[in-house]
Amino acid sequence: MAQEDEIKQQLVEKFAFLNEMTIPRARRMFAEVPLGKFAEVFEFAVKQLNFTILTTITGLDEGANLGFIYHLARTNGIVLNLHTKAPKEKPARAHGRPG
């Protein structure tokens, strides 16, 4: 899991709030990302860490929130799963957009 550990280190150096990322097994990484930071983390993962394949987006009903998991992959098979959530009540406003 050396590559996964290196990727985690790069993400945590750039975004300290990702320090609780998990790597449950080889080629699988999971991170909780605050909604307001999601675009910045996503862009860094794509442009700097070469997660250039968006395999799928999973939508979840998490009670008072809508959850979203973006499954990003590299060509070598490592998958980074970015989970974020938005409140069901006015989700656009939670991201700083008028609504």
Is the per-residue pLDDT at 72 higher than 70? yes
pLDDT of residue 90: 75
Could you tell me if 92 and 70 are in contact, meaning their C-beta atoms sit under 8 angstroms apart? no
Is the per-residue pLDDT at 82 higher than 90? yes
2-58 pLDDT, tens per residue?
Answer: 999 999 999 999 999 999 999 999 999 999 999 999 999 999 999 999 999 999 999
Contacts of 95 (CB under 8 A, 6+ apart): 35, 36, 86
pLDDT of residue 93: 59
Domains and CATH numbers, the chain: 2-94 (3.30.460.80)
Q: How many degrees, rounded to 5, is the angle at CA 38 between CA 32 and CA 43?
A: 120
d(CA 40, CA 37): 5
